[in-house]
Structure 1
């Protein structure tokens, strides 16, 4: 397979026939391919997912808490249109395949202005004569309720109701803003099977399926803690996930044939444990109960995920408020924990392959007897925040004053602009009543004219869950899930990984103001923790080196602990 093929740039449609999703609707599992897990995901991933096999839907998640603020600042400055540029690139690059194969698309790349993104799509549809109907969902932007001079944006996490109404009205492309990450997948399955909004077990299954694939390559080999036990080439240009959701809400996770990466029980478990909230996972349309989750390999790159049950949603949903936090300087990439050499080797391999694709022509760890200078070069990080840029500018001058008084061998990177002050934004999570949200879907016609607006009802029933902070790696909290591979180890592992044990493993990073939650998932031999408060103000304004908690679990897994001697035969060294 050539790199061009891997990137999905080949012309035409793989099987040469249109998708019959309308005729087959509800008669077979719905096939949904995800093409994005973050704002930097390139457009060709959508085209690849559309071209490389039959799918009924393509979904994409381009939003995270910090880039909502970026879009707000860009719009305020007159330099942005509110939507994610890479989402538009994906649609523009893929529209011909989408139209030919009659694939439906639901994405959150509309950011703060899904209307603008929908109108951009309509321009292409009009120009090319595609038989496609585009729509956008509104209701998440709550600036008029909460915005002040200091606040950049206020967005509520809305569910899939507008998506379902849009699909029922004939929309092919639906542009969303801050819907919950899993909402595009929930909406697709909900419409496909014609579920009611009280079939909570089915909705919960689709919700967790959306959770599994929202981070794109994370479930097909990327961010996989066991990567070092396989050839590194497997993890270059991994294929993104495709799911087949059954009528009962369970699913099969897979990927297109001929793509790199892997779908195994381990990769599915790792992604399942990523960013969950314990054994009850909250969404605007349903609360998912995870106690009986089951993961089973049913074929090569085919894993069944089931056991999720549902309850009514909570009466509130998450509201993200963003305000200007001040100024900061500096940025670095780092690796934490075990198998560091292989982590750097994989990263270098990935980057070098991309450079080769573009026709373009790793700093070491102070080796004692290096053969290259970079092998003995390490970084020192100076990171600062201030409410105004002046102190940071003064810091840069202070460091310059010592230019000729430094230790031998000191040298600076060629680009010193990271030492210049730049603004940053603070993400403040809170909650808002679901009944305050005015959700609707709007269908466009030629020229970008709105031809129909459909208002959405609120959930028919709520079930209060009780107070809970946001969790995952997006706010001030970190979640950490770990599992063993053999049932014989489970009783020991679950009794070993107590709250006190986690505190001791966190070590010197633990502070008494933090709080721990713990839950077990016996079917997958996993123990999961949420550490509340450890990221400070979190993600976009945290002063920690690992400001999103991405390296935390690898740090914990690097710790040396005593295990029963009978288990040693099943252990492996993490650097093998």
Structure 2
């Protein structure tokens, strides 16, 4: 599409694959990525995901107080840079960067359009903000901090009998101490589709699901019905593959150390999908850019942050058992075999409430007798807290040893570890007391202990606790608001609801595959050697609320029989070593033979989730590489 033939894409709608390019996967992605996707090659739609579990809730109070615009600044930056190209090329843009204020960002766009004299129509999708409904359901008055909630929210994983709820998950039942700050339902593509059908060129959304912009674009391109489940499911997976910035073009890919020259991973382009009318897709990138799109990068992203072999969305339920990933050319990978079915009756709601206060103390411990030093400080600090009757006033108090001192270290840094004391409490007083105990003992330290002179991270700071809940889709009031040239709402379109729902509820949907090998069965693959699992397996992991997902796969098809037999639930527990907690965690496991992969969800590993977890790896991104670093007995014939 060029400015001389601006309507070419519109005239070709439905006659060829839709070309959809992603411009953002988080609030930090620069605005220029939007313009870059529009100008490096021909695309029909540009989509962007700017939201995570944190940024909307973190800005909610400031937005309510008039101290924050409510939308993501990088989204507005991208629209400003790209508006002339949007107008000249007739590229449609769908983003969730409207965040807390999609109407406000849409109106900013309309102001710029009117100022420049462009012929561009703007719409906003609303209905995700359900904080008033949640407060009403809990028996709370709007903005009330008195009384107590009369019932609990339904936890996302509440119907999984093996899942244990994180401690203090329902602290919001005391709204005076833990008031709810935000509650946003994950909308699908219905409002987006309605806006595009009414002629919108820019669709600004709040909290729609990460893949919803891609789904809405594909649905508009082909005119799919609500019940075209296989097609919708295919577009859901295509959206999942490209929505995360450069994760499908080389970023966050296991085995990066074997890529030469490493400069290929600098200034990476973002992903593009070509979606066909049957829902199959080809994942690619613009030509003459860095990075790469390969079976490895696509499989890695496909296995990232999924629930298992069923991917849930408020428009469709996608079944991944038959998914196939195949390289069909340089930087072109086809994805097919995804099946779809009616969506669940519920959708996810991201609820945030004031969790209290948290802080961390960091102390450097190294040199001689490091383990004894860590043990000493934990005992010394606990002794001081008990002396002041503070121990019971903490929600969380953990003493974490970070790193291992190298024996006979050639540098002091190589012989140094961290003691991380992580604490959370409903009020700042216990954490202040912890710091006082630490300072009181400052000159009573063991030999060689040393610390930073910056104590800012040790001061109590407020934090938000994340609660993933479920909500009935039939209660949502999703709408597309079409703006007129003056920036006012000229037309309101009700997005409606799915015509039918699946019989399974969302939280029950994951199917757990049986272990590959029956007990007592022995498979002989020849002599083995103890090596890091990463010598034969790649993988990726990420956060799913309180949980971490782990997808591992091998490249050699002959290795898969051993791999699927080796990667059992018990093996993952063993590989987690002392981090495994039988009384707190549980694991689900599924296999993806077409991907040569085995996938796990470790429930409870992140406590109450990203914003309030005590884990150093709060997003779960490092978990896969740690597991890959653990040693397994691998058949020698699979080692090169």
- Interval of TM-score (by shorter of Structure 1 and Structure 2): 0.7 to 0.9
Q: Distance in 2 between matches of 1:168 and 1:228?
A: 46
Is 1:296 equivalent to 2:326 in the alignment?
Answer: yes
| Counterparts of residues 93-492 of structure 1 (less than 5 Å) | 93-147=81-135, 148=140, 149=145, 150-231=179-260, 232-330=262-360, 379-406=418-445, 412-413=451-452, 416-466=455-505, 468=507, 473-492=543-562
Stretch moving more, 198-207 or 64-73? 64-73
Q: Distance in 1 between matches of 2:49 and 2:415?
A: 39
Stretch moving more, 454-463 or 504-513? 504-513
How many Å apart are 1:462 and its aligned residue?
0.8
- Closer, same or farther in 2 for the Cα pair 1:493/1:48, shift >3 Å? same
Structure with the greater alpha carbon radius of gyration: 2
Q: Distance in 1 between matches of 2:408 and 2:486?
A: 67
User: Which of the residues 569, 587, 603 maps onto 1:499?
Assistant: 569
Q: Distance in 1 between matches of 2:238 and 2:182?
A: 29
Q: Aligned pairs, how many? A: 527
Unaligned stretches of 5+ residues in structure 1: 1-12, 333-363, 570-576
Is 1:551 equivalent to 2:622 in the alignment?
Answer: yes
SS in 1 for 2:497: coil
Is 1:522 equivalent to 2:552 in the alignment?
Answer: no
Does the CA-based 8 Å contact 2:18-2:275 persist in structure 1?
A: yes
TM-score (norm 1): 0.86
Q: Distance in 1 between matches of 2:3 and 2:437?
A: 63
- Structure 1 counterpart of 2:23: 35
Unaligned stretches of 5+ residues in structure 2: 146-178, 363-402, 511-541
How many Å apart are 1:456 and its aligned residue?
1.5
Stretch moving more, 287-296 or 123-132? 123-132
Higher share of residues assigned strand: 2
1:312-371 residue CA offsets vs partner (Å, 9 max, x unmatched): 111111122110001122499xxxxxxxxxxxxxxxxxxxxxxxxxxxxxxx98778989
TM-score (norm 2): 0.78
Stretch moving more, 399-408 or 204-213? 399-408
SS in 1 for 2:333: strand
How many Å apart are 1:418 and its aligned residue?
2.2
How many Å apart are 1:129 and its aligned residue?
1.3
Q: Distance in 2 between matches of 1:95 and 1:409?
A: 59
| Counterparts of residues 58-69 of structure 1 (less than 5 Å) | 58-69=46-57
The CA RMSD over aligned residues, in Å, is: 2.5
SS in 2 for 1:166: helix
SS in 1 for 2:486: helix
- Closer, same or farther in 2 for the Cα pair 1:476/1:170, shift >3 Å? same
How many Å apart are 1:372 and its aligned residue?
8.1
1:275-299 residue CA offsets vs partner (Å, 9 max, x unmatched): 1111111100100000011011111
How many Å apart are 1:192 and its aligned residue?
0.2
Q: Distance in 1 between matches of 2:481 and 2:283?
A: 32
Does the CA-based 8 Å contact 2:21-2:47 persist in structure 1?
A: yes
